[in-house]
Amino acid sequence: MADMKQDVFPVVHWFPGHMAKATRMIKEYVKKVDVVIELLDARIPRSSANPVISEVVGEKPHIIVLNKADLADPKETKAWTEYFTTQGMTVLAIDSKSGKGNKQLVKAVERLSQPIIDKWLKKGIRSRSVRTIILGIPNVGKSTLINKLAGAAATRTADKPGHTRGQQWVKIGKNLELLDTPGVLWPKLEDQRAAARLAMTGAISDDVYDLESVMKQLLRQVKENNPNLLVERYKLKPEELDDMEQLLESIGRRRGCLVSGGVVDLDKARRIVLADYRNQKLGNLTLDGVDEEPVIIEDTIEYDEK
């Protein structure tokens, strides 16, 4: 994957108070569970990994779940699975909407919790359910996964990031309980390329980041991954891909994003491309590469956690 540092600058300035509160709550909830499930977006496994979660998990049995694998590049998902495996992690790729991989997830929880169950049996404890928590950033699919596992709309889901309300234990089968939690971002997004990718996938609210910068990065990655797709999707001429500054304007003209005087409404064009990516009309594109280095911006904003 090509270096895109020239397009990266601070784009995200957001850390709502409820996120800081949720972080403190999660630290308390983790103490009450036996197994932790960390849900990552398979399109951005590194960018969607909240370092706060790694800190609070500690020595608890821990499963990495690459959700939305149906939206990601299968080869990249395999590479990320191998990467986490070499780190000694239990890792699964799933699609929470369709339920693909859910049975394997339950089996993995049961396997990791077996030593705990054995200790209970030695103490004469036979009735306690294994408790697990699903942690992850906003909009990564936690509530959808619980709904599928429970077989009913057990938790409220929302299209807007960070809008799962309340926490509740959900019974899964006879011996497993799941606790849903709010999605949690972290207070300092030092890697602004990761921040941009969080924005692309909808983990960050669309009204709090610089759309122009984000879309430059997205178009560059789509072009590098599959230039023919851009040509076909937006009826472009191949040579129109050569100038990244003019590419968005060309897309806007093809899509009729014109205002008085024949001027292209670039903001409207950006939102069309963003929606196309999120709706999988720009292919199965994984944004994070296993071998990428973070892009650190020195003047990254630190967010108010009060």
- DSSP characters over 169-215: EEEETTTEEEE-------SB--BHHHHHHHHHHTSS-TTSB-HHHHH
Cα 212 to its chain centre, rounded Å, is 21
Distance from C-alpha of 258 to C-alpha of 266, rounded to nearest angstrom: 9
Q: Which tens digit of pLDDT belongs to each residue from 9-55?
A: 445 555 556 666 777 777 888 888 999 999 999 999 999 998 778 77
Q: Binding site membership for GTP: which residues?
A: 67-70, 139-144, 183
> Minimal CA–CA distance to 287: which of 304, 305, 298, 274?
274
Least-confidence region, from 30-39, 145-154, 208-217, 249-258: 145-154
Q: Is 15-179 a domain of CATH 3.40.50.300?
A: yes
Q: Which tens digit of pLDDT belongs to each residue from 92-128?
A: 999 998 999 999 999 999 899 988 888 888 888 777 7
- Which band of pLDDT confidence, cut at 50, 70 and 90, is reported for residue 298? very low
Do residues 209 and 11 make contact, with C-beta atoms less than 8 angstroms apart?
Answer: yes
pLDDT at residue 166, rounded to an integer: 54
Q: Give φ, ψ of 65 to 5 degrees.
A: -120, 120
pTM of the model: 0.84
Do residues 305 and 14 make contact, with C-beta atoms less than 8 angstroms apart?
Answer: no
Task: Look at residue 301 and tell me whether its pLDDT is greater than 60.
Answer: no
Task: Look at residue 154 and tell me whether its pLDDT is greater than 60.
Answer: no
Q: Binding site membership: which residues?
A: 67-70, 139-144, 183
Pairing of β 62-67 and β 90-93: parallel
- Domain parsing of the chain, residue ranges: 15-179
Do residues 145 and 164 make contact, with C-beta atoms less than 8 angstroms apart?
Answer: no
Distance from C-alpha of 225 to C-alpha of 219, rounded to nearest angstrom: 10
Say which residue, 206 or 306, is predicted with more confidence: 206
Pairing of β 176-179 and β 169-172: antiparallel
% of the chain beyond a pLDDT of 70: 81
Task: Look at residue 266 and tell me whether its pLDDT is greater than 90.
Answer: yes
Distance from C-alpha of 73 to C-alpha of 284, rounded to nearest angstrom: 5
